[in-house]
Amino acid sequence: SIDIDNLPVGEYEVRAFFNNRFDDEAVASFVIKEYWEKGGDNIAEITLPNNKGFVYSPVGHGEDLPVVFFAYGGYYSDHEKYHKTLLNFIASRGYHAVFVEYENGDFTNATSAANKFAEAVAAYEDLNLQGVNKQKIGVVGHSSGGGLAFKVLKELKDTYQYGSDKSFVMAIDPWFAFEMNQQDLKDLPNNTNTLILQFGPGGNNMKSLLIDGESRNYSTDGKIAGTLFKYLNELYPENVDYKIFANVGDDRGHKYLNDDITEGNRNNKGNNYERMKDGLKPLGALMDFTFHDNLEAKAIALENNQRAEQHIFPKQNYAFKCTHNEFTDAVGKLLDTDVNYCPEDIPRSDN
């Protein structure tokens, strides 16, 4: 027998001979792809009824498939069209990808987001299409969605009994873990793999932002992701990693894994795999390790032993700070948690 899951990348040919005769054979070929490349599954893009969301689903499988939920960031990305490449990528790899729009546009309410995700799965199951294995789940979150991801996972587990077998979180340039105290982080099941992903030199996106007439050089304060990693790494050192792609974060900066929806690109087909490969590769490996126990994939997703240094700049350099934020009440919610993300910026009586 052949252990296909552990073969290196490449093209392969398999020959079977019958009746001990070399002239009586069957030949088959297959390709092992890089983890950032689109998988081989055909994809159905399904708009759920009653505004329940979108599911990108592999077709033609007999078994129930794992499900991955995507929590988007704020303002600029509240529609699945901005994320077609990411959703297509997940589905092409053999997993359901679920996208919902948040209730009243509130991208800091993790409990509400989890409820919307569960409603989307129920609506999809009512269509009697490809089966869903709700005991193997993942949550991918970007920006404020990276902050939602932890509570979304916990809520899906605690309230809806999802993820009893396998689970993961991938937080991309995340904000605070909304609605999560230290004890909540400790209560994440030990079968949960977590990857925090940062882009740009020193883990800081270099896209310059002009806000209220003032130029900010970086997007999200690096203390946020660094603090999350510190807490989680102390709890689950074998299941947590922090990756920085220093040469990634082109002119799209913070939106690196978003599709470019501009006037000249309205009919986005979701095929930006090459441009996004530095973000897609660890995701592909994380899904493969979590759902299939592939140790080669774990080496890519969680154990590549590369040195990562998160550089921290003065708070005024960041558009999305640990302290005051021009856009949301996120810092108000930050003060409701006992996780001290910014001790120098927000003096607290409980620390």
Query: Rounded CA gap, 139 and 97, in Å?
Result: 10
- Structural domain contains residue 62: yes
Residues 6+ apart with CB under 8 A from 187: 154
Two structure tokens written together for 244: 């920085």
Residue 29 covered by a domain: no
d(CA 207, CA 310): 17
**Residue 86 lies inside a defined structural domain of this protein:** yes
The CATH number of the domain holding residue 45 is: 3.40.50.1820
Residue 14 belongs to some domain of the structure: no
- The boundaries of the domain holding residue 274 are 35-334
Q: Do the domain assignments include residue 190?
A: yes
Residue 351 maps to a domain = no
Q: For residues 72 and 143, give the distance between their C-alpha atoms in angstroms, rounded to a whole number.
A: 7
In three-state secondary structure terms, 259 is: coil
Q: Is position 230 within any domain?
A: yes
Angle, helices 84-92/277-292, rounded to nearest 10 degrees:
30
Q: Tens place of pLDDT for every residue, the chain, 351 residues?
A: 445 445 555 454 565 655 665 555 565 544 456 898 888 889 999 999 998 999 999 988 888 999 999 999 876 566 788 899 999 999 999 999 999 998 766 778 899 999 999 999 999 999 998 899 999 999 999 988 999 999 999 999 999 999 999 999 999 989 889 889 999 999 888 889 999 998 887 888 765 555 555 555 667 888 889 889 989 999 888 899 999 887 765 555 667 788 866 544 555 667 788 888 888 999 999 999 999 999 989 999 997 656 668 888 877 777 777 765 545 555 556 667 788 887 665 544 443
The answer to whether 96 touches 132, Cβ cutoff 8 Å, is yes
Show the tokens assigned to 248. Answer: 């990634």
Q: Judge whether 23 lies within some domain.
A: no
Count of structural domains, the chain: 1
pTM, entire model: 0.84
Backbone angles phi, psi at 239, to 5 degrees: -120, 10
Print burial letters for 217-235: b (CB count within 10 Å at least 16), e (below 16). Answer: ebbbbbbbbbbbbebbbeb
**H or E segment at 116?**
helix 110-125
The residue written with tokens 């053999």 in the block is: 94
